[in-house]
Chains A and B, each alone.
Chain A
């Protein structure tokens, strides 16, 4: 049973460019959340997708956008990259509708470096 898979694992971009990161959730999960983790910090919530719609959003600018596809996979897009966008981007999947708080299953992340 595959867990959460993310691609690419590493990438380097320059300021002003755009990037797309991809995520396939764990089998059976229908909700995808994206987190940004700067070096030495904890993950910060970007947004969450359920039923192909953004359900919740964290304190991130509109340069960060996403999409969820009918097969539950998801993309994170970041436009006009800034040096400060350099981080590990984590995708986490969960199953909606279960009683209690969602337990997150994380992928290994996509390491983005902006030069």
Chain B
């Protein structure tokens, strides 16, 4: 069965630094990979989508890479701010999505 792994330990970084979150997957060859942000008590919010033939995607301070050989995606937030503190989920699929368990990011002022 599909397995998606995200670092279950919280990532603590200082404001202004770059946060890098990892998503690894097995037993799956997704054509698309998405990243969502989830705040406590709220539903996930879509951030970025990257296709299998794209190596990198950027949106403002966000950058996603997708390495289908390593079966890994990296999610970067540059110049991080305390407001970026949240849980970040990666999701694979087309209509039906498989989500990782998320990584909690804490950005300290």
Contacts and interface: CB of A to CB of B under 8 A. Distances in A.
Contact of B32 (A4, A40, A55, A100): A100
Interface of B: 4, 6, 31-32, 34, 36, 41-46, 49, 51, 89, 91, 93-102
Interface stretch (A65-73, A77-85, A103-111): A103-111
Contacts of B6: 42
Interface of A: 4, 31, 33, 35, 40-45, 48, 55-56, 58, 90, 92, 100-109
Do most interface residues of chain B lie in helix, strand or loop, or is the interface mixed?
Answer: strand
Contacts of B44: 43, 90, 104, 106
Contacts, number: 65
Contacts of A56: 95-96
B46 A45 contact: no
Contact of A45 (B36, B42, B97): B97
B102 A104 contact: no
A17 B52 CA distance: 44
Contacts of A90: 43-44
16 contacts: A31-B95, A35-B99, A40-B101, A42-B101, A45-B98, A48-B95, A56-B95, A90-B44, A100-B51, A101-B94, A103-B49, A104-B36, A106-B43, A109-B41, A109-B42, A109-B43
Contacts of A43: 44, 89, 97, 99
Contact of A48 (B49, B96, B99, B100): B96
A4 B91 CA distance: 19
Contacts of A101: 31-32, 34, 49, 93-95
A106 to B, nearest CB: 3
Contacts of B43: 4, 90, 92, 106-109
A10 to B, nearest CB: 10
Contacts of B31: 101
Contacts of B46: 103-105
A104 B102 CA distance: 17
